[in-house]
Amino acid sequence: MGAHYTAVGWNRQKKIYDWVIFAFCVTYLAVFITVTAFANPDYTFETALIRSTSTLAFLLLHVILSIGPLARINHKFLPLLYNRRHLGVTMFFVALVHGGFSILQFHALGNTNPFLSLFLSNTQYNSLPGFPFQALGFFALLILLLMAATSHDFWLHNLSPKMWKTLHMLVYLAYLLIIMHVMLGVIQYETSPVLVVLLALGAITIISLHLIAGMKEVKNDQVVYPNRKEGFVQVCHINDIEDSRAKMFCIGAERIAVFKTAGKLFAVSNVCKHQNGPLGEGKVVDGCITCPWHGYQYLPHNGQSPPPFKEQVSTYDVMVNEGYVWVNPIAYPEGTERPGALINLQVP
Amino acid sequence: MTDKKQDEFYIGWVGKTPPTFAALTKRFVLVLLPVIILLGVLLAVSQKKFGTGNFEFGTLTEVRGIYFDKPVPNLRVVTGFGLEGNNSFVTIPLIGYGKFGADGAISDIEKAKHAVLNGKWITLKGTLLYNDGKALMQVDIGDNPITNIADVTPHPMTVDSEQLGSITVKGEIIDPKCYFGVMKPGEGKPHEDCAIRCILGGMPPMLHVVDGSGRINYYFIVGHDGGKINNSIKNYIAGPVAITGKAIQYGDWVVLYTDGPQSITAISKSALWQPKGSIMACAAGGTPLKTPTCSVR
Ligand code: HEM
Ligand code: FES
């Protein structure tokens, strides 16, 4: 089990996935440029390139931002989540072509360094309609660069998962910056409503998906557990948990996943050490609790990843009383071994 | 207790996707990707029409005419010889390489040839740009632009000018190089930074004016003494403005002599709209000199 845990390589599926992304991007760019050339014979290739890459990157960003909530709403979308990183890196490179080419086109061959020119040409920072929109694009690109550069798990461990997660939450700031980049830029010039309408529809889609996914979570978090005894809280009946699976309970500030496996119950923190994935939606595979997001694994009885991995989650005491499951929400230090609770199958 | 489908579990690194996961993902991707391409098509067709300008990138053309360095560097090319020296001609404003005016290239030529070009009959080689019946030429020292400087000017020509009086015109300040063909769009907010960079680099600023019928006119903008005001008008570039100044028509171009930024006010986009036939009609489209229909409001 430990062996294939390490084998996070470029499997066939990842290769297919990468080829699909690549072929799709090339198709999009070719179609955009061709349509521009036919609809608008006076076009210049530079503008078609700037616009085809900008719109592609922005559309891909919408997809990337939708995958998270989609996978929470329906876990059958998880394969998209697992492979989202490559989409992100691709999006960054497409945006880089747009930004890089824009800097060349609008700022190179002048009397000022192009990167300074980006900030010093239009200096109407105090005006909304006059605002230097390209600077907003630059900062968005910088965020995307940081995210792409730190996308490898090496950086996740190096920066600490918390820091990494915070950095990657900046994608929402990048999204906002790009919306303003478009609103204060090309929208000030275009006469067709298409871009504005699509911008609004895109934002509505992203916000709705996040709200729906968030509401699902909040509902679970708001369940009240009235039966308490000697530090233990009654959470469900043993039959409510399927074999090799878990149920998640939010008690106070603790998110606890109770797994049923090998005739026993084990309680561990619901929060995966990788990227805070919901372990309670995972499954026990080959004796290991397996995170549904990227497949990190933990042993049920001590919350430790099998060697050589070093991740550890907190564990909790759990007991069975008259067919009901009781959990003590006071966490043991991460990786502490707990006996779990035997399930007496002859309960009423 | 659980049916098999319910018990399916996807683990990315295993490399095998359970059938129901694979089916949904595939269906989703097969719908999503064409939808994104269609959105791209929609975005592509909804782009504002590009200008008709043309930059003959990579093609050098030789043009013979008389060079003047005022009001902006230009070459007057005689297109017909009339009676009493009343020749017809087109004026080709000159601009430099990249985001620079022509002044640098001209002074380099003058240094290399130990000559003063103003008023001389010369043959210049450069890249033409044209739009709306107007032509400009890029002079790049790398193209060996000067092929001949005549010792004498066979048809001495003074700059004919016609005073059009003090006027206020509404339009957008553009850099003529981009507008006349190097970039599309070469105007408006998306192009603003570039227009600013070009004008700060010495490109002669120009006011682009359109009326309700789509009639277009252009005014070179200079200081009251004909000097450059490029560096002081930065905040007015690429947005709607009204400019007051003394207009003088030099053949096929009009020059607006202003007091710099004091003569310019930023106006709203809606204030930019001007009724049909409200702008000077004479100078657009390379109409010959002294068209009697000139009217200014
Ligand atoms: C250094 C960074 C950037 C620069 C200098 C830059 C510059 C520009 C410019 C000049 C335009 C107007 C071009 C035109 O249509 O005439 C534009 C538009 C646009 N940009 Fe950026 N941009 C940058 C980064 C980004 C990033 C990171 C994104 C996000 C994916 C983005 C998305 C867009 C979109 C969607 C448009 C509107 C469509 C278009 O006109 O191309 N830009 N940008
Ligand atoms: S969040 Fe990535 S494996 Fe758990």
CB-based contact B40 A55, cutoff 8 Å: yes
Q: Which domain holds residue B118?
A: 54-155
Q: Based on the fold, state whether residues B146 and B193 are members of the same structural domain.
A: no
Among residues B155, B181, B207, the one where a domain terminates is B155
Q: Does some domain include residue B284? A: yes
**A213 Cα: distance to centroid of ligand 2 (angstroms):** 18
Among residues B122, B155, B188, the one where a domain terminates is B155
Give Cα A47 distance to the centre of its chain.
32
Residues B57-67 have pLDDT tens digits of 999 999 999 99
How sure is the predictor about B15, in pLDDT bands with cuts at 50, 70 and 90? confident
Q: Based on the fold, state whether residues B76 and B123 are members of the same structural domain.
A: yes
Ligand 2 site, residue A291, Cβ cutoff 6 A: yes
What confidence score (pLDDT) does residue B5 get?
Answer: 63
Q: Does some domain include residue B98? A: yes
Q: Which atom of ligand 1 is nearest to the CA of A100?
A: 1
CB-based contact A189 B15, cutoff 8 Å: no
Q: Based on the fold, state whether residues B126 and B212 are members of the same structural domain.
A: no
Residues in chain A with pLDDT values less than 70: 1-10, 345-348
Q: Based on the fold, state whether residues B176 and B281 are members of the same structural domain.
A: yes
Q: Based on the fold, state whether residues B104 and B195 are members of the same structural domain.
A: no
Distances (CA, A) of A27 to A19, A121, A346, B27: 12, 35, 61, 19
Q: Based on the fold, state whether residues B113 and B171 are members of the same structural domain.
A: no
What confidence score (pLDDT) does residue B16 get?
Answer: 86
Average pLDDT over residues B140-161: 79
Q: Based on the fold, state whether residues B149 and B168 are members of the same structural domain.
A: no
Between A269-273, B66-70, B262-266, the lowest mean confidence (pLDDT) is in B66-70
Residue ID of nearest Cα to ligand 1 atom 34: A54
pTM comes to 0.92
Residues A67-112 have pLDDT tens digits of 999 999 999 999 999 889 999 999 999 999 999 999 999 999 999 9
**A60 Cα: distance to centroid of ligand 1 (angstroms):** 14
Q: Pick from A272, A285, A288 the residue to mutate for probing ligand 2's pocket: most ligand atoms within 8 Å of its CB.
A: A272
**B204 Cα: distance to centroid of ligand 1 (angstroms):** 27
**A1 Cα: distance to centroid of ligand 2 (angstroms):** 17
> Between A13 and B196, whose confidence is greater?
B196
What confidence score (pLDDT) does residue B276 get?
Answer: 74
Which residues does residue B248 pair with via DSSP β-bridges, in sequence order? B163, B255
Identify the residue among A22, A78, A133, A198 best suited for mutation to test binding to B, counting B beta carbons within 10 A and taking the highest: A78
Q: Based on the fold, state whether residues B147 and B169 are members of the same structural domain.
A: no
Identify the residue among A8, A11, A20, A44 best suited for mutation to test binding to B, counting B beta carbons within 10 A and taking the highest: A44
Chain A residues with CB under 8 Å of B44 CB are 31-32, 35-36, 39, 51-52
Average pLDDT over residues B9-33: 92
Select from B7, B190, B196 the Cβ nearest to the Cβ of A186.
B190
Chain B residues with CB under 8 Å of A9 CB are 13
Q: Does some domain include residue B10? A: no
Average pLDDT over residues B235-253: 93
Q: Please, which residues have CB within 8 angstroms of residue B11's CB and are 6 or more apart in sequence?
A: A285, A290, A295
CB-based contact A185 B190, cutoff 8 Å: yes
Ligand 1 site, residue A134, Cβ cutoff 6 A: yes
| HEC secondary structure over chain B | CCCCCCCCCCCHHHCCCCHHHHHHHHHHHHHHHHHHHHHHHHHHHCCCCCCCCEECCCCCEEEEEEEECCCCCEEEEEEECCHHHCCEEEEEEEECCCCCECHHHHHHHHHHHCCCCCCCEEEEEEEEEEECCEEEEECCHHHCCEEEECCCCCCCCCCCCEEEEEEEEEEEEECHHHHHHHCCCCCCHHHHHHHHHHHHCCCCCEEEEECCCCCEEEEEEEECCCCCCHHHCHHHECCEEEEEEEEEEECCEEEEEECHHHHEEECCCHHHCCCCCCCCCCCHHHCCCCCCCCCCC
Select from A28, A117, A188 the Cβ nearest to the Cβ of B197.
A117
Ligand found nearest the CA of A276: 2
Residue A344: phi and psi, rounded to 5, are: -90, 110
Chain B residues with CB under 8 Å of A63 CB are 32, 36
Residues A243-284 have pLDDT tens digits of 999 999 999 889 999 999 999 999 999 999 999 999 999 999
Q: Based on the fold, state whether residues B137 and B178 are members of the same structural domain.
A: no
Residues B204-241 have pLDDT tens digits of 999 999 877 888 999 999 999 999 999 999 999 999 99
Chain A residues with CB under 8 Å of B267 CB are none
Chain A residues with CB under 8 Å of B1 CB are 242-243
**A37 Cα: distance to centroid of ligand 1 (angstroms):** 20
Among residues B105, B138, B155, the one where a domain terminates is B155
B87/chain A closest Cα distance in angstroms:
34
Please determine, for residue B287, whether its predicted confidence score (pLDDT) is greater than 70: no
Q: Does some domain include residue B136? A: yes
Of residues A337, A342, A202, A315, the one with CA closest to residue A260: A342
Residues B75-132 have pLDDT tens digits of 999 887 776 666 778 999 999 999 999 999 999 999 999 999 998 999 999 999 999 8
Q: Which atom of ligand 1 is nearest to the CA of A107?
A: 5
Q: Based on the fold, state whether residues B264 and B168 are members of the same structural domain.
A: yes
Q: Does some domain include residue B278? A: yes
Structural domains of chain B, count: 2
> What CATH code is carried by the domain that includes residue B184?
2.40.50
**A291 Cα: distance to centroid of ligand 2 (angstroms):** 6
Q: Does some domain include residue B27? A: no
Q: Based on the fold, state whether residues B112 and B199 are members of the same structural domain.
A: no
Residue ID of nearest Cα to ligand 2 atom 3: A294
Ligand 2 site, residue A272, Cβ cutoff 6 A: yes
Of residues B111, B116, B71, the one with CA closest to residue B93: B71
Ligand 2 site, residue A82, Cβ cutoff 6 A: no
Q: Does some domain include residue B148? A: yes
Q: Based on the fold, state whether residues B284 and B174 are members of the same structural domain.
A: yes
Query: How many beta-carbon pairs under 8 angstroms link A with B?
Result: 191
Computed over every residue of chain B, the mean pLDDT equals: 87
B150/chain A closest Cα distance in angstroms:
32
Q: Which atom of ligand 1 is nearest to the CA of A96?
A: 27
